[in-house]
């Protein structure tokens, strides 16, 4: 834990800058002030964007091997200082120290994957002679960087989700300006430190902390920003889409993730995996398990085992390796979760464990009989609460799973391959995990959803595709024939 308040600098076009005006960052576990961070202005954001555009134009042909070198050196720096990065994540956010160490490991991998993908930004040849009269034309297309990427990142993965913006941007030769979540800016600034130490040319990266209405608005509306990459809530995503104008958007906007458990499943495995998927990171996870649909024949057995295991989770000090769950990101969020649970109970839901709040802490909570009219049944709880329902068969489970305006990821537990493929075809989601909960992801895979869960896909290679455009080249060889 921090023993004194740190005064941070922000990264403007590769230069560390102090500001007279700052905002406070608190440890949500005890509300202790841990850092003062520069409060950027509209002018700071304008400077970062314009310097990014200027740097990009001067380095349009930045060689792939140099980009790869910077990314690998940045990964080396994070790995060398992994305990400091882990402590920063755990101090400013909700994750336990064990979860924070896992995030650092993933961030290193994200940067290394980005370096590898930099060598694979390829095009392909085009058979122009497929059209009559074009027999003497040959050509290809290749991908080129778009310019300046604007990134807005959330609090729940304050290092790795920033790496998922910066890594692909640098790999593809773009400049990037990051506005991190105001409650967790320290991890993003630390990642900036890794890139500065890795020798990233000045101007390619800025990390600009501040208010969304001040610097965020400038970032999404500036004409030099060619892509806005946003991870956050649906309501904010809709506002960004309305204001951004004619530019590319990549948005991961959350979910209300379902998991289906059939009678033929390995129940012990399903319980263990779903408990972890529901309560890791205090449920503040866009692919965390929120709704579980269990076939009637094994419903009571599953529910009893799930509640028993949830009751064994240790809630407490984030810095203890024995702790399973720390606090939510702040007391306000814990109160919101509490109010959603109370609304569900008022409307007829039953509580089997949990439902207790202590400041920013909220106990692992299991609900049944939650009516469709309850907010928690339709929206993303983003907290340690899971809803468990009995269903008569797979068709009912699929119908109920699809009955929300989200579709990020889902899971199904079954040993029947035909039922697995039937579910794959009928669930309205961007990803489905077989014999895993919805809460499974690797950083190399395409990641995103349908309906209110967003636009486009993250994952390094997919992000690089969004951050580049194809250019067609055609040679008419007629005069040489």
Predicted confidence (pLDDT) per residue in 260-285, tens digit: 999 999 999 999 999 999 999 999 99
pLDDT for the residue 481? 56
The pLDDT score that the predictor gives to residue 2 is: 42
What pLDDT digit, counting tens, does each position of 445-461 carry? 999 999 999 999 999 99
Give the Cα separation of 12 and 179 in Å (integer): 11
Same fold, 6-253+454-471 and 257-443: no
Q: Is there a contact between 158 and 180 (Cβ–Cβ < 8 Å)?
A: yes
Cα 291 to Cα 302: distance, rounded to the nearest angstrom: 14
Number of H helices, E strands in the chain: 15, 25
DSSP string across 279-337: HGGGG--TT-EEEEEEEHHHHHHHHHHHHHHHHT--BS-TT-TT-SB---SSHHHHHHH
Q: What is the 3-state secondary structure (H, E, C) of 277-288?
A: HHHHHHHCCCCC
- For 297-326, what is each residue's pLDDT tens digit? 999 999 999 999 999 999 999 999 999 999
CA distances from 244 to 24, 174, 240, 409 (A): 29, 19, 6, 27
Distance CA(337)–CA(326), nearest Å, equals 15
Q: Which of 8, 117, 214, 286 is catalytic?
A: 286
Distances (CA, A) of 3 to 31, 57, 94: 14, 44, 18
pLDDT tens string 455-478: 999 999 999 999 999 999 999 997
Q: 175 with 205: CB under 8 angstroms?
A: yes
- What torsion, rounded to 10 degrees, do the Cα atoms 395, 401, 406, 410 define? -100
Question: How many CA atoms lie less than 13 Å away from 311 in the CB half-sphere?
Answer: 9
Q: How confident is the model at residue 4 (pLDDT cuts 50, 70, 90)?
A: confident
Backbone angles phi, psi at 25, to 5 degrees: -115, 130
Whether domain 257-443 has CATH 3.40.309.10:
yes
Tokens of 358: 């202590």
Given 103, 193, 252, 333, the catalytic residue: 252
- Spell out the CATH class of 6-253+454-471: alpha beta
Comparing 308 with 5, the larger pLDDT belongs to 308
User: Which pLDDT belongs to residue 256?
Assistant: 97
- 214 is an active site residue: no
The answer to whether 205 and 192 are in contact (CB under 8 A) is yes
Distance CA 40, CA 214 (A): 8
* Antiparallel, parallel or unpaired: β 10-12 and 15-17: antiparallel
User: Mean per-residue pLDDT for 148-171?
Assistant: 98
Q: How many CB atoms lie within 10 A of CB 417?
A: 9
The pLDDT of residue 213 is 86
Active site residue 286: yes
Tens digits of per-residue pLDDT, 373-397? 999 999 999 999 999 999 999 999 9
Q: What is the mean pLDDT of the chain?
A: 96
Largest CA distance in the chain: 82
Task: Decide if pLDDT at 479 tops 80.
Answer: no
Query: Is pLDDT above 70 for 480?
Result: no
Q: Quickly count: other Cβ atoms within 10 Å of residue 472's Cβ.
A: 11
Q: Where are the domains of the chain?
A: 6-253+454-471, 257-443
Task: Select from 142, 60, 120 the least CA-distant residue to 474.
Answer: 142
């Amino acid at each position: 834990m921090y023993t004194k308040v740190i005064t941070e600098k922000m990264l403007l076009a590769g230069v560390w800058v102090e500001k007279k005006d700052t905002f406070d960052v608190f440890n949500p576990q005890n509300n202790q002030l841990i850092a003062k961070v520069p409060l950027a202005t509209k002018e700071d954001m304008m400077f970062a964007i314009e310097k990014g555009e200027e740097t990009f134009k001067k380095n349009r042909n930045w060689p792939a091997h140099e980009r790869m070198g910077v990314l690998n050196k940045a990964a080396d720096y994070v790995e060398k200082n992994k305990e400091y990065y882990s402590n920063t994540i755990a101090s400013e956010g909700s994750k336990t120290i064990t979860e924070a160490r896992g995030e650092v490991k993933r961030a290193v991998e994200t940067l290394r994957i980005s370096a590898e993908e930099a060598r694979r930004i390829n095009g392909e040849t085009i058979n122009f002679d497929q059209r009559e009269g074009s027999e003497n034309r040959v050509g290809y297309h290749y991908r080129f960087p778009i310019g300046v990427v604007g990134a807005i990142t959330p609090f729940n993965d304050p290092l790795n989700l920033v790496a998922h913006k910066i890594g692909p941007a640098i790999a593809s030769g773009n400049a990037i300006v990051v506005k991190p979540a105001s409650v967790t800016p320290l991890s993003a600034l630390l990642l900036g430190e890794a890139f500065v130490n890795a020798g990233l040319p000045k101007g390619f990266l800025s990390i600009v902390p501040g208010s969304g209405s001040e610097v965020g608005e400038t970032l999404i509306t500036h004409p030099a920003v060619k892509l806005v990459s946003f991870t956050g809530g649906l309501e904010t995503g809709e506002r960004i889409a309305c204001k951004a104008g004619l530019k590319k958007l990549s948005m991961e906007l959350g979910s209300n993730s379902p998991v289906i458990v059939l009678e033929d499943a390995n129940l012990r495995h399903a319980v263990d995996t779903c408990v972890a998927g529901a309560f890791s990171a205090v449920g503040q996870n866009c692919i965390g398990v929120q709704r579980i649909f269990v076939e009637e024949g094994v419903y009571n057995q599953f529910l009893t085992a799930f509640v028993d295991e949830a009751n064994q989770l240790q809630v407490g000090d984030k810095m203890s390796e024995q702790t399973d769950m720390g606090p939510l990101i702040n007391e306000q969020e814990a109160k919101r979760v509490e109010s959603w649970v109370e609304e569900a109970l008022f409307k007829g839901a039953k509580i089997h464990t949990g439902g207790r709040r202590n400041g920013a802490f909220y106990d692992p909570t299991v609900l049944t009989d939650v009516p469709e009219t309850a907010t928690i049944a339709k929206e993303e709880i983003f907290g340690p609460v899971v809803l468990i329902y009995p269903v008569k068969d797979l068709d009912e489970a699929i119908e109920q799973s699809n009955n929300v305006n989200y579709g990020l990821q889902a899971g199904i537990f079954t040993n029947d391959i035909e039922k697995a493929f039937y579910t794959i075809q009928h669930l309205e989601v961007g990803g489905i995990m077989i014999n895993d909960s919805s809460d499974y992801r690797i950083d190399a895979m395409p990641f995103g959803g349908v309906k209110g869960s967003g636009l486009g896909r993250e994952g390094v290679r997919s992000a690089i595709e969004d951050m580049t455009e194809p250019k067609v080249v055609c040679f008419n060889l007629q005069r040489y024939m």
